Structure 1
Amino acid sequence: MRSSREEVMSITKKLVQQESIVNTEGEKLLAQTLHALISGLPYFMDHPDQVILAPTSEDERERHNVLAYVKGTKGNSGRTVLLMGHLDTVGTDDFVHLQEDACHPDRLMEKLRKEELPDSVREQLDSGDWLFGRGVLDMKSGLASNTYLLKYYAEHPEKLDGNIVYLAECDEEDSSHGILSALDMLRQWKEQLGFTYVGAINADFVSPRHTEDRNRYVYRGTVGKLLPSFFITGAEAHVGSCFEGMDPNLIAAELTRQISYNPELCDEADGEVTVPPVSLKQTDLKPGYTVQTALSAFVYYNFFVHSWSPEDVLNKLKGQALVAFEHALSIYGARYRQYCEMTGEPVRQIPWAPRVFTYQEMEEQLVHEHGVRFTDHMDRFKKNLLEDTSLDVRMFSVRVVEEAWKWMADRSPAVVLFYSSLYSPRVRITGETSDEAALNRALDRAIEDVQPMYPHPIKVRNFFPHISDMSFVSISDDEEGIGAVRDNNPAWGTKHFVDYEAVRELQIPVINIGPYGMDAHSKMERAEMAYSFEVVPALTRSVIERLIGADETQTAPVMEVREAHS
């Protein structure tokens, strides 16, 4: 196999120069560019039905995925490997005065040479071994590697006793409309073409785990991500008589103190530990300024999982919310008594006690108490609320909780716990199935093939540490676990829905072999070219051919890697 460096670099620059910020017209334009590029290859000119520009479904925007497949001619196997990667990026506002150059790597690097930079960044820039620019790392160089390999196998289908499916999906950076829409076509090809998906290889970026880390990582499976959310009600009061009420912001503050950065909420599995949850939003729900304390507040947290189910997380956070509520009341009581001592006012008994419900518990109680009157009202409310397009799924969800709360007979201070956004399921590749075991073996042997030609250690870890579309080609949760997401998401079936059974039907064991670099989502985003343009396609090709092409005596793809400045 000829050296991939120059060709993957060329494709990377071509993809980067077409700005494709998520939720903008650029996403659609890049999909069209990719579709045209692939359609122009001789193989696809002869097989035009094997490349598709597919619109997303249930999406407020017009955008597309690009799918293609190459059928191997070495044999008649239906065994199929999926190559996947997203084509969208985050925005470019962080580049400030260099924003116009953000998607033009050569131009940007010339400008950066005149900037004040950290020593390590300066060294990498001057080395000539690193490429800078928005999307270079996350993840257009990975997508370029997949495109390069699609082209290679389109030219050499005789290498495969099986098939390659290529997927470039949109909207990974926001709501995963791309991958969720692509599931239908993947299932259709499975049924109509007899494809048996034996493995998926994602090409998302990898980075060092700490400043002294020189390893390059490949990953089996991925972390799961939830957005546990809390609607907090207080007791309203005039600020001049603040102790007559209970400020929900105090409970929210204690909740964040209890949950954010709490190692007790790190999920350990297979010797690896998730980062703890952290607050992503904390606000009261007053529409504007008044001299009344807020009636309610809203908080949500990022929450990663390796082995815990969504139901496990609800149970753990319900306990944490109870502790936080008790702390808030304790602080309130102590300060109230201190104030009364200072003023000479009599101390009254605090009338509230900690109360924490899940959304499912509250809804079941309200259905029991009010029956069809409540359910019909909430159905109408949600339908009308959908007309407000300014509400994202998180704000839509809390408005539904807020409306349901009005039906509670006892509306004294309480906390309602729910999920308000997409659940990206955890994927745990244990090797227990024959496909998982074969994929693990192929990955281990691929590293053995390539490692002698690359100076830095290539290490395997079990969970890709970032949110990714890997979560939607396989699933490790059982129906009960997924049921906790469905039953505790107020937007489910209206503003939000995911067909997790479609994911379970595919159940493709998935790994990540992606470009190496630093500072994704920031102005200094950069990829190391030796690893990203040479090692990544070599590793990926080795895995592919061990699964559906080469025999066990296969030698590594030919590659010569210059030592990169790390």
Structure 2
Amino acid sequence: MKTPDSARILEILKQLCAIASVSGRAEQENRCAQYIADFLNRLIPESEGRLSVRLVPCEGDALGRNAVIALLRASRATDKTIILTGHFDVVDTAVCGELREQAFNPDAYTESLKGFAISQEAKKDLESGNWLFGRGTMDMKAGLALFLASMEQWIRDRDLAVNILFWAVPDEEANSAGMIGSLRAFSDLCRSEHLKCVAALTGEPCFWTSETEMTEAVRPYYLGTTGKLMPFFYALGKPAHVGNYFEGLNAALMLSEIVTEAETDIKLFEGEGLDLLAPPTCLYMQVRRESYSVTLPEAAVAYFNVLTARKDVEDIMRWACLTAASGTAKTRRRIEEARLFALTKGADYPDCPQVNILQYKLLRKMAAAKCKERFEEELAGFWKSVPSDIDAREAAIKECEWLISKANPPRPAIIVGLLPPYYPARVNRSASEEERELRSRMEEVVAQAKEMSSDGAVRMHEVFGGISDLSFLGFKTLNEQALRAAPNMAGWGRVFHLPTDIDFSEEIPVANMGPAGRDAHQMTERLELDYSLNIAPKLLLELIRKLS
């Protein structure tokens, strides 16, 4: 088996980058899918019947986007299969300012950046000549270019001892509609071809870490991917004119106390050292009213980004309910202090009322009980009124508000639930033979990477610190956790779903085996050329040989 020529990888990369496949722009994403399918289809005549290629419509995707799945069979019949996967969508280029259009032409963009103010680190990389700048260069069209160029080589190889399943998807940067929508096609292919998937390797890059006083910057490889849940808190207060403050309860006050409790809560920290995940943080907080008013806010909502490694859906919901209870207790104490102070001034106000904590699934049951047999019909009618282009989170919050209007829960209250999307964590626990084998082989390959790189700046991590589509390749875990998340997730089955009816129970071990780069999603996104074009292909080939 041979590695592809570095010039060929670079050529394919630039062709991919020229397609402005920004996530959500279905026409461009499908154009990129077609490019990949056409590239692979051109290889079929040389494959002697070993290669099959499919353009797969993504199930449930309102934008009608396509994924690409191709199977290159081993030279001799075997069920052992390695998945090479990645996404071809990119984030938009608004951050690039006046160079936003050039960002899809890496050569021109790299040259143009020489006249712009960029960070000292980026400037040093630019002047070195060893970095290629532009949207998608490292996240993650270089990984796809590496896989495609490798497939081009391996199709002529009569010593390929393992099946290669190539799987490229859209929408990873948004809601993972590409991966989720092609899971069924993937599982059907595995069953019909009797494939045993021993590993899934993503072409996601090694995102260079930042140097600190305690740690050196490195290119990290990883054996798992972080999970993500988005708990939300919907506060229902009691309206009152501001002049009659103690007659009501300010929803904004309740919510602010909850947000303060939840932000960076150490109870949700997971991992150690370089594998320590980012803490919970509020992504959105809003009083729900459309115009100016001197009435105490009656409704307010906030939602959080929570990253997980070993904590599951039930753990996060339990934390959210306890956080809501703690936040509302602090609210009542604050108001009680104010009421007691007012007493010293000769004023007498009522006690602050108790606050009910309701899980979203209970709110839904209450609404269904009030509507009776009309519930599903009325809910469907509500969803018809929701604009199709609305953000999925906002649409889900509106569903919550519709349920509140039907259930009329006792107030004040905090509704606790989940918003889309949901990414299950994938952690290599060395629980299966396949997990132990991948861990062992990755350790060997990472050791080789340290020797091959001039700086030795390579390290293996347990999990990728961000989220990725690898979350959806643990089918047993996916089904179990999805069924637990669904009852408390607003918008489930409408703006987000996971296919829990797929008859496939494989827990596929995962790792990244892509290029290296810096500053994903930023103006200075860039690919490290020497490592990505000369070392990464050898590492990929070596890992596949070891796993074969």
Report TM bin, short chain.
over 0.9
Contact 2:482 2:498 in 1 (8 A): no
Aligned residues: 541
Contact 1:472 1:503 in 2 (8 A): no
Give the 3-state SS of the residue equivalent to 1:460 in structure 2.
Answer: strand
**Residue 486 (structure 1) shift:** 1.1
Give the 3-state SS of the residue equivalent to 2:502 in structure 1.
Answer: helix
Give the 3-state SS of the residue equivalent to 1:232 in structure 2.
Answer: strand
Name the structure 1 match of 2:205.
205
Name the structure 1 match of 2:457.
457
Query: 1-side partners of 2:395 and 2:186: how far apart?
Result: 31
**Residue 427 (structure 1) shift:** 0.7
What is the letter of the counterpart of residue 227 of structure 2? G
Query: 2-side partners of 1:419 and 1:504: how far apart?
Result: 26
CA deviation map 1:153-194 (0-9, x unaligned) = 1121x2222210111111101111111122122212212212
Name the structure 2 match of 1:58.
60
What is the letter of the counterpart of residue 19 of structure 1? A
Name the structure 2 match of 1:315.
318
Contact 1:382 1:494 in 2 (8 A): no
Q: Unaligned stretches of 5+ in structure 1?
A: 549-566
Map 1:6-405 → 2, pairs under 5 A: 6-24=7-25, 25-41=27-43, 43=45, 47=49, 50-73=52-75, 75-156=76-157, 158-212=158-212, 213-268=216-271, 272-338=275-341, 344=345, 346-364=347-365, 370=369, 373-374=371-372, 376-377=374-375, 379-388=377-386, 389-405=388-404
**Residue 340 (structure 1) shift:** 6.3
**Residue 53 (structure 1) shift:** 1.6
- More off after superposition, 314-323 vs 32-41: 32-41
Query: 1-side partners of 2:392 and 2:5: how far apart?
Result: 42
**Residue 55 (structure 1) shift:** 1.6
> Against the structure 1 CA distance between its residues 375 and 399, is the aligned structure 2 distance closer, same or farther, given a 3 Å change threshold?
farther
What is the letter of the counterpart of residue 484 of structure 2? A
Contact 1:35 1:53 in 2 (8 A): yes
Name the structure 1 match of 2:492.
492
Query: 2-side partners of 1:501 and 1:531: how far apart?
Result: 42
Identity, % of aligned pairs?
A: 24
CA deviation map 1:315-359 (0-9, x unaligned) = 012111111111122223334544665xx4522122411321211
What is the letter of the counterpart of residue 385 of structure 1? W
Contact 1:269 1:306 in 2 (8 A): no
Query: 2-side partners of 1:505 and 1:491: how far apart?
Result: 26
Name the structure 2 match of 1:551.
none
Name the structure 2 match of 1:536.
536
**Residue 452 (structure 1) shift:** 1.9
Name the structure 2 match of 1:438.
437
Contact 1:39 1:45 in 2 (8 A): no
Query: 2-side partners of 1:536 and 1:258: how far apart?
Result: 44
Query: 2-side partners of 1:294 and 1:288: how far apart?
Result: 11
Give the 3-state SS of the residue equivalent to 1:502 in structure 2.
Answer: coil
**Residue 295 (structure 1) shift:** 1.6
What is the letter of the counterpart of residue 263 of structure 1? I
Query: 1-side partners of 2:378 and 2:535: how far apart?
Result: 55
> Against the structure 1 CA distance between its residues 354 and 191, is the aligned structure 2 distance closer, same or farther, given a 3 Å change threshold?
same
Query: 1-side partners of 2:302 and 2:89: how far apart?
Result: 28
Alignment root-mean-square deviation, CA = 2.4
**Residue 525 (structure 1) shift:** 0.8
> Against the structure 1 CA distance between its residues 413 and 244, is the aligned structure 2 distance closer, same or farther, given a 3 Å change threshold?
same
Query: 2-side partners of 1:534 and 1:439: how far apart?
Result: 23
Give the 3-state SS of the residue equivalent to 2:363 in structure 1.
Answer: helix
Query: 1-side partners of 2:290 and 2:49: how far apart?
Result: 57
**Residue 448 (structure 1) shift:** 3.6
Contact 1:44 1:51 in 2 (8 A): no
Query: 1-side partners of 2:50 and 2:546: how far apart?
Result: 28
Name the structure 2 match of 1:428.
427
Query: 2-side partners of 1:70 and 1:243: how far apart?
Result: 71
Contact 2:118 2:524 in 1 (8 A): no
**Residue 310 (structure 1) shift:** 0.5
What is the letter of the counterpart of residue 384 of structure 1? F
Normalising by structure 1, what TM-score? Answer: 0.90
**Residue 382 (structure 1) shift:** 3.8
What is the letter of the counterpart of residue 483 of structure 2? G
> Against the structure 1 CA distance between its residues 510 and 544, is the aligned structure 2 distance closer, same or farther, given a 3 Å change threshold?
same
CA deviation map 1:285-340 (0-9, x unaligned) = 21333332322111100001110110111101211111111112222333454466
Give the 3-state SS of the residue equivalent to 1:297 in structure 2.
Answer: strand
Contact 2:169 2:179 in 1 (8 A): yes
Name the structure 1 match of 2:413.
414
**Residue 250 (structure 1) shift:** 1.1
Query: 2-side partners of 1:175 and 1:271: how far apart?
Result: 27
Q: Unaligned stretches of 5+ in structure 2?
A: none
Query: 1-side partners of 2:366 and 2:379: how far apart?
Result: 19
> Against the structure 1 CA distance between its residues 100 and 493, is the aligned structure 2 distance closer, same or farther, given a 3 Å change threshold?
closer
> Against the structure 1 CA distance between its residues 102 and 345, is the aligned structure 2 distance closer, same or farther, given a 3 Å change threshold?
farther
**Residue 100 (structure 1) shift:** 1.9
- More off after superposition, 509-518 vs 16-25: 509-518
Query: 1-side partners of 2:134 and 2:274: how far apart?
Result: 35
What is the letter of the counterpart of residue 257 of structure 1? T
**Residue 216 (structure 1) shift:** 1.4
Query: 2-side partners of 1:365 and 1:377: how far apart?
Result: 11
Map 1:455-534 → 2, pairs under 5 A: 455=454, 456-475=456-475, 477=477, 481-500=481-500, 502=502, 505-534=505-534
**Residue 526 (structure 1) shift:** 1.0
Give the 3-state SS of the residue equivalent to 2:505 in structure 1.
Answer: helix
> Against the structure 1 CA distance between its residues 532 and 240, is the aligned structure 2 distance closer, same or farther, given a 3 Å change threshold?
farther
Contact 1:474 1:510 in 2 (8 A): no
Contact 1:55 1:64 in 2 (8 A): yes
Contact 1:218 1:511 in 2 (8 A): yes
Give the 3-state SS of the residue equivalent to 1:498 in structure 2.
Answer: coil
Give the 3-state SS of the residue equivalent to 1:492 in structure 2.
Answer: coil
Contact 2:65 2:170 in 1 (8 A): yes
> Against the structure 1 CA distance between its residues 250 and 302, is the aligned structure 2 distance closer, same or farther, given a 3 Å change threshold?
same
**Residue 500 (structure 1) shift:** 4.0
Contact 1:269 1:307 in 2 (8 A): no
**Residue 113 (structure 1) shift:** 0.7
Give the 3-state SS of the residue equivalent to 1:155 in structure 2.
Answer: coil
**Residue 445 (structure 1) shift:** 2.4
Query: 1-side partners of 2:482 and 2:334: how far apart?
Result: 37
